[in-house]
Amino acid sequence: MIYFMQKILFRWIAGLAVGLFILYLLFTNFSEQPGIPPKSERKDVSEVRLRYFDGKGEWSLADHRGKVVLINYWATWCPPCRYEMPTLVRISQTYKDKPFEIVGVTVDEDLSQIPSFVERYSIPYPILIKDLDPNVGAFLSLPTTFLYDKQGRLAKRYVGVVRESTLHADISTLLNE
């Protein structure tokens, strides 16, 4: 009987360890490198155009020259995206009086979930739809976030959940250029 209980306990602990490791992999941003590359190493980006979720027209990266721009690709069904959302809301509030723009791009197929998601997380920034962006297929992981400098050059790409401290440091660096 004791052997049987030990075997069950061992399997339970092993299962818990595997589950925790999988969660660690899901929520760890392995692409997160400290700092922003020098201007000379940043790539000019082909025009980024997206459609506003609420139908107000098109959003264009070119229209935001002179601002640091953060574009976050997410989905309502993505647990790491939901985990990261409060951080992005705080970031948008922290830099609302600076030359900074944040937008969220939903990759959801079922757009009926978007209004309740925006309300649940109190998202204050514009939500866009991926349909006009040819770059959406260029990444497979969610969330994926792109940070652009004031000239519209890609300064950094984050795959997975990004630490708030990393975003603050990178945004501040770009704002001070």
Domains and CATH numbers, the chain: 31-175 (3.40.30.10)
CA distances (Å), 24 to each of 18, 19, 20, 138, 160, in order?
10, 9, 6, 24, 11
Beta-sheet pairing, 100-106 with 43-44: unpaired
Cβ contacts of residue 121 below 8 Å, gap of 6+? 82, 85, 86, 89
H helices of 95-163, in order, are 114-121
Q: What is the C-alpha to C-alpha distance for residues 45 and 138, in angstroms, rounded to an integer?
A: 13
Return the C-alpha torsion angle 136, 167, 116, 73, nearest 10: 0
pTM (predicted TM-score): 0.79
Confidence (pLDDT) at 74: 94
- Stretches in the chain below the pLDDT threshold 70: 1, 3-7, 9-34, 132-140
